[in-house]
Amino acid sequence: MSEVRLRPLAEADLVERTRYYRSEGGDELGGRFFDTAIEGLRAIERMPGSGSLRIGELCDVPGLRSRRVTGFPCGWFYFERVDRVDVVRLLAYAQGFATILGVLDENW
């Protein structure tokens, strides 16, 4: 198992997305999103290499992996390191993440 570290933007994204779902669908939806997002982090922790490299390749960010938050149109974006997993963002797929992720690189 690899230690998962959320970068400040990833933490802020989690808070923002949870607030969004809470405002759109109430406390139950916000809570369900948060719990599902955290379960996604646990899955990354257990098997960091299981995340897809496809979006990283399309955005020209080598080594960037992604894992969808089950049931929601968003995903975690992260780099697998030797000693940890650096989670850099939690983005909705409608956010134009290609532009957002274009400023990342493997050393971020």
- In tens, the pLDDT along 50-86 reads 999 998 888 888 999 999 999 999 999 999 999 999 9
- pLDDT for the residue 60: 85
Instruction: Tell me if 19 sits within 8 A of 92, measured CB to CB.
Output: no
Question: Residue 96 pLDDT more than 70?
Answer: no
- pLDDT for the residue 100: 63
Q: How confident is the model at residue 101 (pLDDT cuts 50, 70, 90)?
A: low
Domain boundaries, the chain: 3-97
Q: How far apart are CA 99 and CA 55, in angstroms?
A: 12
- In sequence order, the 6+-apart residues with CB closer than 8 A to the CB of 105 are 61, 62
- pLDDT for the residue 99: 61
- Using the Cα atoms of residue 102, residue 6, residue 84 and residue 66 in order, give the sign of their dihedral: negative
Average pLDDT score, the chain: 90
Superfamily of 3-97 according to CATH: RelE-like (3.30.2310.20)
Q: How far apart are CA 69 and CA 90, in angstroms?
A: 9
